[in-house]
Chains A and B, each alone.
Chain A
Amino acid sequence: MRLTILKAMFIRHLLILKSYSFNSLSGIITMYIVFCLMFFGVQAMVPAGSIGRTLEGMLVGYALWAFAIFAFSELAWELTNEAQFGTLEQLHLSPAGLRWAVSANLMTGFLYNTLILSLLVALMMVTTGKYLRVDLIAVIPLLVVTVLGVYGLGFAGGGLQLIFKRVQAFFQIIQFVLVGCIVAPWDRFPWAKYLPLSLGNRLLQRVMLDGERLWELPLGLLATLVLLNLAYLTAGLLVFEAATQAARRKGMLGHY
């Protein structure tokens, strides 16, 4: 049954993406333009000799941030939209439950996002002339594990949406918070490595810039990455579960 739900979500995702093709395309173009402005802005302001690996690092960080934004939107914004469409309660009526319906939506979203962002990264590399090492055996697991933490934030945000309804402003702030998580310097703030995306970004840079293999990465850091992001995911799921129960108690699951 869960596979059938996953298939249904996949097809719906594809059809809606097609229906909103202009919106989808303009989102990607906007991200590309913002990246170009940032990249060429930094290049113009900082003397070439002192930039070092900054530009390549920026490329990795930006791609990860874009992926995180897509992942967060998949959950938090989707729940807002579903409530507005009037379909959220229908998702809850699925025999597998709202959580699985939402998770199936996430999984299909992950596939689409991977495809779209791969194209975006390729475009960014061609534009900047900075080519990253894309070792899929290392990049995909690191990306999946890193994004799990963002899904945790998304579940928590979605849970807040179920209760407070108008939380769009909070969602927008999250975009900037995620930037902060990626760029937070570990040397000044040692605790920053425990922020979502931070450790994942560093490890992805080691793979994509330094060419390290997955098994060459320190085991301790890999274990920390997995445990940390699972903790974020679990916490997000718990918030979502508690919020769903509260919304059912208050009879406001379908409100918007």
Chain B
Amino acid sequence: MDTVLEVSQLHKVFPGKRKVHAVNDVSFTVGRGEVVGLLGPNGAGKTTIIKCVLGLVLPTSGSIRVEGKDPQARGSGAAHLLSAVLEGSRNIYWRLTPRANVRFFTGLHGLDGPAQKAYNEELLHKFGLTDNADTEVRNLSSGMKQKVAVVCALAKRTPLVFLDEPTLGLDVETSYELRGLLKQLAADEQRTIVVSSHDMDVVQDVCRRVLIIAGGRLIAAETVPDLLALFRSRTYRFVLEGRPDLSGLQAAFPQAAVTASGGQTAIELLLPNRADIYRAIDLIREAGGVLESVTQPGPDLEQAFLTLVRRERDNACA
């Protein structure tokens, strides 16, 4: 996978009476066709990083390359490669229609002609905006406004797209729809998409990899499965038929949490040693228990994110 975006030792200190070190020595790369999540609590520095890449904020030091071009240098050609939704539906003209907005923003990117027009129409159709393409944006729902903003960014056909909170204000169905479309675009057109969102479900669903920022520093850059694996605990959940006497199991594993409800008994058990699972099953069998299921509840991205961010905060305070 070739590299589309390369950020190296990026620092940003906002000048003023009280200097703010917003980004502190951040380095990462993003490959072509990747959908990457940029996560972090409020004020972590995500938007500053995005704006530095887009050339909207001047970095204090460090280097940024988009397909080898410097977006900070005028005339480098990097601007041709970049598009973004930064403030959702505020990024478009509410007095224009979705069709006119898409036409304007692609024109602003130097794109025109029948092929571009056809692509604009295709995107409007894919995002379910065709029926409202000639209605002024101000008369559309907030979800539709958000979709128009995303279409305006995607229609520029740039290899690298930044989407800051793309599902903000969308209902569940539209959010799922948008996630599907983003995955499809990344796969079909080899578009690289960086999604910054507080919605972990969106990031977990859409992104292959996540970059976690806290206090201006990059604290994790892992694929989603690898990150989840780091936080997978050795807790198992056994569900049994009926209510067998589990005193033997409880004696062997004092930490076992047993709850009975209806005609079932559930046992939550932390088994750091893999071999202990067989011992636990033997004890259940000896008690006359009939196993209905054994599961290992996995952590979700939200838990992993919170653990990492809190750990970083504690380290910073220590």
Contacts and interface: CB of A to CB of B under 8 A. Distances in A.
Interface stretch (A9-17, A180-188, A195-203): A9-17
A213 interface: no
Chain A residues touching B, range: 20 to 34
B91 A90 contact: yes
Nearest to A92: B56
Counting chain B CB atoms within 10 Å of each CB, the highest count among A7, A91, A254 belongs to A254
Interface stretch (A95-103, A153-161, A171-179, A227-235): A95-103
A15 B96 contact: yes
Nearest to A96: B110
A249 interface: yes
B56 A248 contact: yes
A90 B14 contact: no
Nearest to A1: B110
Interface stretch (A81-89, A110-118, A124-132): A81-89
B272 interface: no
Interface in B43-73: 48, 51, 54-58
B140 interface: no
Interface in A97-156: 97, 101
B105 interface: yes
Given A16-B93, A254-B86, A248 B58 contact: yes
Interface in A5-41: 5, 7-9, 11-12, 15-16, 19-20
A12 B54 contact: no
A253 interface: yes
Interface stretch (B75-83, B281-289, B293-301): B75-83
A54 interface: no
B196 to A, nearest CB: 15
Contact of A251 (B57, B82, B91, B96): B57
B255 to A, nearest CB: 50
Interface in B166-196: none
A85 B93 CA distance: 7
Contacts of B94: 85
Given A95-B79, A95-B80, A12 B57 contact: no
Given A85-B90, A87-B92, A92-B55, A4 B15 contact: no
Nearest to B48: A251
A250 interface: yes
A4 B111 contact: yes
B103 A95 contact: no
A249 B58 contact: yes
A224 interface: no
B74 interface: yes
A15 B108 contact: no
A96 B74 CA distance: 9
Contact of B108 (A86, A101, A245): A101
**Chain B CB within 10 Å — which of A11, A251, A254 has the most?**
A251
Contact of A12 (B79, B80, B104, B136): B104
Interface string B1-44: 00000000000101110000010000000000000000000000
B91 A86 contact: yes
Interface string B100-128: 10011111111110000000000000000
Given A5-B107, A11-B103, A101-B108, A89 B93 contact: no
A93 interface: yes
A11 B117 CA distance: 15
A16 B80 contact: no
Nearest to A249: B58
Nearest to B51: A251
B61 to A, nearest CB: 13
B213 interface: no
Interface of A: 1-2, 4-5, 7-9, 11-12, 15-16, 19-20, 85-87, 89-97, 101, 245, 248-251, 253-254
Interface of B: 12, 14-16, 22, 48, 51, 54-58, 74, 77, 79-80, 82-84, 86-87, 90-96, 100, 103-112, 136
Complex A-B, nearest 6 residue pairs according to Cβ-Cβ distance, in ascending order: A8-B107, A86-B90, A1-B110, A95-B79, A19-B95, A248-B58
30 contacts: A2-B110, A4-B107, A4-B112, A7-B107, A8-B107, A8-B108, A11-B100, A11-B104, A12-B96, A19-B95, A19-B96, A85-B90, A85-B94, A87-B93, A89-B86, A89-B87, A93-B54, A93-B84, A93-B109, A94-B108, A95-B77, A95-B80, A245-B58, A248-B56, A249-B15, A249-B57, A249-B58, A250-B15, A251-B57, A253-B57
Given A7-B112, A93-B54, A95-B80, 6 more contacts: A16-B96, A90-B86, A93-B84, A248-B56, A249-B57, A253-B56
